[in-house]
Chain A
Amino acid sequence: MKESVIIIGGGVAGLEAASQLLALGLSPVIIERSDHLGGHVAEWYRLFPDLSPAQDLIARLVDSASGARIYLETEISRINALKDGYSATLNNGDVLFCKAVLVCTGFHLFEAAKKEEYGYGIYDRVITNRDLEHWFGGAEDERITDNPKAIGFVHCVGSRDVKAGNTQCSKVCCMTAIKQAIELKEKFPESEIYCFYMDLRLFGKKYEDFYISAQKDYGIHFIRGRVSEVSEDIEGRLLVKAEDTLSGKPLKVRLDLLVLMAGMVCHPQTARIASMVRAEVDDDGFLRSRDNIYSIVESGRKGIFFAGACTGTKTVPETVAEARAAALSAYRYIKGNA
């Protein structure tokens, strides 16, 4: 009988880990609480830096994990440690036995309405990065008018913000903002697009080229100043207040659309999941790895492994790499104990 590994979460990390475990001859089981696989990335349109379609990546991941047993719309009620593994009780009553558990629960998108001064859910033309990706993918959104003349992007919404409850940087939003700014400029070539940032975090392969292209080819304006307040005038246009810190002057910009770059925060279920597998929650709210350099995929508890955004903000390539590492670690652990 093949040894079983339970994978909590059917997003990018969970799917890639499952596919590796299958190739290694083990029997992965994916438990996914929503009605679809692919997690957050399944809702995305195109991924930086190559602008490759997210759906292609998801299709490929789902395909290579198709040999795994998959539970959708299912949650885990309990995990109990046994002498030689774990048993997991699902909320549909099933009890599963496994040799190891892979936590791939991912992140939660910061609820932009919590930044009240930005008016998400109050003003008619304020949307989030996720709303915009949906729209790029073909969804309708009446908040996006036919011909916006001025568009703004607010970086760091819910990130690097003591009052929002998350002091960490969400890593991917700066690139996403530039990507989306370029995509919007392609849709609305006559519009002026402003990115309001504190710092630009463009740390990966070819990311800086994106920024150069945004400035050179697309004329995107970059204003180094955090948006302080958004309000609505009588025509429904938005008034945004920020300081242009580089010239040291406060400014007000009138916009037809504002995109809030909502950040990655820990999943609200993190504490529950942590207690189930007896892992620790770090002081940034995410799960704590055994260390932050060499053993990110290990939890420090035998048979419990992590992959992806459950331990901290991750890009897609980092998530894929961690999923493979976690699968290999789980495999070696299982074979080592046999």
Chain B
Amino acid sequence: MGKLYDELCKDYRFKEGLHTCINCGTCTAICPAAEFYRYDPRKIVDTVQRKDDAEIEALLKSDTIWYCGECMSCVTRCPRKNGAGLVIMALRNLSAKLGYFTCSEKGRQLYPLTKVLNGNVLNLGYCVHASTFAYEDHPESGPVFEWVLNHKEDVYTRLGANYGGDGPGALRKIPQEDLDELKAIYDETGGTERLELVEKYSLEKAKEMGMTPEEYLKYTFTHCSRGHFNNEEA
């Protein structure tokens, strides 16, 4: 058994997600990603099951493992109680740890995701927050949300939120002592280490691609080349 496979075996999601796969295709049949992306969860689980380190390394560096939407529809139906979505999470986790995520376009997106989401968690205590939600990055949120963002205090308070206030309520200000505890948890459990690793590998890649960190952040957030979807020509 190869080193990469052994690393995967340490992840509890892998322990839960891969027992024995018989390639029946039930997971791919129901997978939303398989319908639109060039993606087949069955093939990924089958590859991993073969324990071939070279193939696993190729997977970790590919776009393929980043197509899954983690909806877990595959978990409901597998007749051998595997979970392709869980195997994907383990693969992504390992790819992040080893820095292989920067080898693929979809993998490189881990940089803006990590920065924005964890910035929100550690600074505000929310995964998503109106104060860091830029309408230009989300035009699909519609003219109604542009209006909401332009009148945050009024709209949120009128709708019963405790916007930025003390005490309980929606969108309250989460006390600093609680944010400090979250930071301590990140430090203790390897969360901070992960944020630093993702930053390090991403900035190395940015330099390699001839971009500043800001350019790289914008690029990885917006760039999508052809060839990811089934209905495109190669």
Contacts and interface: CB of A to CB of B under 8 A. Distances in A.
Direct contact of A and B (CB under 8 A): yes
Interface of A: 117, 156, 160-164, 198, 224-229, 241-245, 248-251
A250 B35 contact: yes
Contacts of B77: 117, 163, 228-229
Given A198-B22, A228-B26, 14 more contacts: A156-B79, A162-B79, A162-B81, A163-B79, A164-B79, A226-B26, A226-B29, A228-B29, A229-B77, A243-B28, A245-B28, A248-B42, A250-B29, A251-B29
Contacts of A244: 25
Contacts of B23: 245
Contacts of B22: 160, 198
Q: Which 4 A-B pairs have the closest CB atoms?
A: A243-B25, A228-B29, A226-B24, A243-B28
Nearest to A229: B30
Contacts of B25: 224-226, 228, 242-245, 250
B90 interface: no
A160 B80 CA distance: 8
B35 A243 contact: no
Contacts of A248: 28, 40, 42-43
Interface string B15-43: 00000001111111111001100001011
Contacts of A226: 24-26, 29, 79
Most B CB contacts (10 A, CB to CB) among A198, A242, A243, A244 go to A243
A230 B78 CA distance: 15
A241 B77 CA distance: 12
A318 to B, nearest CB: 25
6 contacts: A117-B77, A156-B79, A229-B29, A248-B43, A249-B40, A250-B25
Given A226-B24, A228-B30, A229-B29, A243 B42 contact: yes
Interface string B48-85: 00000000000000000000000000001111110000
Contacts of B42: 243, 245, 248
Given A198-B22, A245-B42, A250 B79 contact: no
A92 B184 CA distance: 74
B29 A161 contact: no
Contacts of B40: 243, 248-249
A63 B26 CA distance: 47
A229 B77 CA distance: 9
B85 to A, nearest CB: 14
Contacts of A229: 29-30, 77
Contacts of A250: 25, 28-31, 34-35
Contacts of A249: 40
Given A198-B22, A248-B40, A248-B43, A161 B28 contact: no
Contact of A225 (B29, B79, B80): B29
Nearest to A245: B25
Contacts of B30: 228-229, 241, 250
Contacts of B81: 162-163
Contacts of B80: 162
A243 B80 CA distance: 16
A305 to B, nearest CB: 34
Contacts of B26: 225-228, 242-243
Contacts of A245: 23-25, 28, 42
B79 A227 contact: no
B12 to A, nearest CB: 19
Contacts of A164: 79
A82 to B, nearest CB: 46
B43 A227 contact: no
A43 B24 CA distance: 31
A229 B24 CA distance: 13
Interface in B163-204: none
A250 B230 CA distance: 11
A199 to B, nearest CB: 8
Contact of B29 (A160, A163, A227): A227
Most B CB contacts (10 A, CB to CB) among A162, A163, A228, A242 go to A228
A298 to B, nearest CB: 33
B35 A160 contact: no
Contacts of A225: 24-26, 29
A248 B77 CA distance: 18
B110 to A, nearest CB: 27
B231 to A, nearest CB: 12
Contacts of A160: 22, 79
A149 B118 CA distance: 55
Given A160-B79, A198-B22, A198-B24, A241 B43 contact: no
Given A226-B24, A248-B40, A250-B34, A242 B79 contact: no
Contacts of A227: 26, 29
B79 A241 contact: no
B31 to A, nearest CB: 7
B36 to A, nearest CB: 10
A115 to B, nearest CB: 10
A217 B81 CA distance: 38
Nearest to A160: B79
